[in-house]
Amino acid sequence: MDNHAANTSPVVSFDDESLILVNSNDEVVGYANKDLVHDGPGILHRAFSLFIFNSKSELLLQQRSSSKRLWGGYWSNSVCSHPRQGETLETAVQRRLAEELGFNCPLEYLYNFEYQANFGDIGTEHELCSILVGHFNGEVAANSEEIDSWRWITPQQLDFELKSKPEIFTPWFKLEWHELKLNWASKIGL
Active-site annotation, residues: 80, 127
Alpha helices in the chain (DSSP H): 34-37, 89-101, 155-164, 171-183, 185-188
- Rounded to whole angstroms, the Cα distance separating 27 from 98 reads 27
Give the whole-angstrom CA distance, residue 128 versus residue 171: 14
Residue 114: closest CA among 125, 99, 103: 125
Cβ density class 48-58: b for 16+ within 10 Å, e for less: bbbbbbeeeeb
Phi/psi for 186 (5° steps) reads -70, -35
Shortest CA distance to 105 belongs to which of 50, 144, 155?
50
Beta bridge partners, 111, equal: 131
The set of residues, in sequence order, having a beta carbon less than 8 Å from that of 75 and lying 6+ positions away, is: 61, 62, 63, 64, 168, 169, 170, 173
